[in-house]
Amino acid sequence: MDQLTVNQVTVQEIKLKEFCNSVWTRLGVPEKDAQVTTDVLVLADLRGVESHGVARLPRYYTDLKNGWTKPTDQSKIIKETKATALIDGGQSLGQVVGRRGMELAIKKAKETAIGIVSVRNSHHYGIAGYYSLMALEHDLIGVSMTNAAPLVVPTFGRTAVLGTNPISLTAPASKEKPFVLDMATSVVPRGKLEVYDRLKKKMPLGWAVDATGKGTSDPHTVLDALSKRLGGGILPLGGEGEEHSGHKGYGLALMVDVLCGVLSGSATGLGVDVDKAKPNVGHFFMALDPAAFRPLEDFKRDMDRLSQELKNSPKAQGQNRIYVHGEKSYARMEKCRREGIPVGTAVVESMRQVGTELGVPLSF
């Protein structure tokens, strides 16, 4: 986390990937699918989203070991038009299903200018940005969303009903970095509460509420109540009530559930990822070709201009730079690939335990 001093070790990307791949293949995941699953996890750590990085490996390990996730890809297209498709994930790895969904959206966008793929009966798919970033390789605008287990309380509520339901949108540029938005529709993802809980630290007020609907700084209380469904939860983007527009974050989370859940026929609200044997998570992917509207180079030139306008605008007192979404993550990726990826010692220990159970040595 950015603002916490955490006990960490630095691991080279290749070492992290080798271990993760070995875990998945030992559990019966084909090599190609193992690499996709690993790539999603490691990209999260490279881009600074530690809550969705290799810290998630024990969860996926447990799901595979217990048979809640199918090790081989069982996904299939249920319905299809020239520009759209509905995929049933078959309870396969969310990363594998997600990549298939975005690849299909990209294929359709190349053929018809737009591709939209809705997915049901899937699992947690990692960071939303992994899939929208795929569109940039083809000079397309990419959109990726997923619903998730109920962790977020609606405005004026005291029980979690919606997921952190992330949204990611990417757009290509020319000389500037591409625009990469990748955000939860909650104040924070669950993973940030878990990091504070592991470190035995209080979290900032304004992140979550207890079972009465009042703000709390105790992450353990919130996580424990969520696991037992006793009430409380994370706040929607904007925070508590309407004063700072928490109702807008609530609306965005609900929008994601409409596109990912209602549209696909997957679980919604309280039903998402509640039954571990059938989480029925829904995803939404879209690829859009800017060249269907205007010359691609003109679009990318104007993306550069917009980015430069923002970064060259007057800075707030005490600030020396304005960032456009994605720039910090690209800088972190370059640094981590050069110097290694910081991984918390508690995360390393949890990975070591998984490796010991499977007979996969941890070499970092």
**DSSP tag of 260:** I
**DSSP tag of 79:** E
Beta strands in the chain (DSSP E): 8-11, 76-80, 84-88, 114-122, 141-146, 167-171, 179-183, 208-209, 215-216, 233-234, 281-288, 341-344
Contact 353, 361 (CB under 8 A): no
User: Residue 185: helix, strand or coil by DSSP?
Assistant: coil
pTM over 0.85: yes
- pLDDT of residue 2 exceeding 80, the answer is no
pLDDT digits (tens, 9 = 90+) for 208-244: 999 999 999 999 999 999 988 899 999 999 999 999 9
- pLDDT of residue 300 exceeding 80, the answer is yes
Class at the top of the CATH hierarchy for domain 192-234 = alpha beta
pLDDT digits (tens, 9 = 90+) for 82-127: 999 999 999 999 999 999 999 999 999 999 999 999 999 999 999 9
With cut-offs at 50, 70 and 90, classify the pLDDT of residue 3. very low
Report the alpha-carbon distance of residue 194 to residue 188 in Å, rounded. Answer: 11
CA atoms within 13 A of residue 309's CA, in its CB half-sphere? 6
Question: In the prediction, which pLDDT does 6 show?
Answer: 54
Q: What long-range pairs does 56-63 form, CB within 8 A, spacing at least 24?
A: 56/124, 56/126, 56/191, 57/20, 57/23, 57/350, 57/351, 57/354, 58/350, 58/351, 58/353, 58/354, 59/124, 60/93, 60/124, 61/23, 61/27, 61/354, 63/123, 63/276
Question: In the prediction, which pLDDT does 5 show?
Answer: 45
**In angstroms, what is the C-alpha Rg of the chain?**
20
Question: In the prediction, which pLDDT does 198 show?
Answer: 81
CB atoms within 10 A of CB 81: 10
Mean pLDDT lowest among 76-80, 200-204, 303-307: 200-204
What stretch(es) of the chain map to CATH 1.10.1530.10? 10-72+340-364
295 by Cβ neighbours in 10 Å (0-12 / 13-18 / 19+) ranks as exposed
- pLDDT of residue 130 exceeding 80, the answer is yes
Angle, to 10 degrees, between the axis of helix 31-46 and the axis of helix 327-339?
Answer: 110
What stretch(es) of the chain map to CATH 3.30.1370.60? 73-187+247-308
Q: What is the CATH number of domain 73-187+247-308?
A: 3.30.1370.60
With cut-offs at 50, 70 and 90, classify the pLDDT of residue 275. very high
pLDDT digits (tens, 9 = 90+) for 36-69: 999 999 999 999 998 899 999 999 999 999 999 9
Say yes or no: domain 10-72+340-364 is CATH 1.20.120.1200: no
Question: In the prediction, which pLDDT does 1 show?
Answer: 42
The pairing of strands 84-88 and 114-122 is parallel
Beta-bridge partner residues of 76: 88
- pLDDT of residue 26 exceeding 90, the answer is yes
Give the sign of the dihedral formed by CA 86, CA 89, CA 94, CA 95: negative
- pLDDT of residue 164 exceeding 60, the answer is yes
- pLDDT of residue 277 exceeding 60, the answer is yes
What stretch(es) of the chain map to CATH 3.30.60.50? 192-234
CA atoms within 13 A of residue 246's CA, in its CB half-sphere? 19
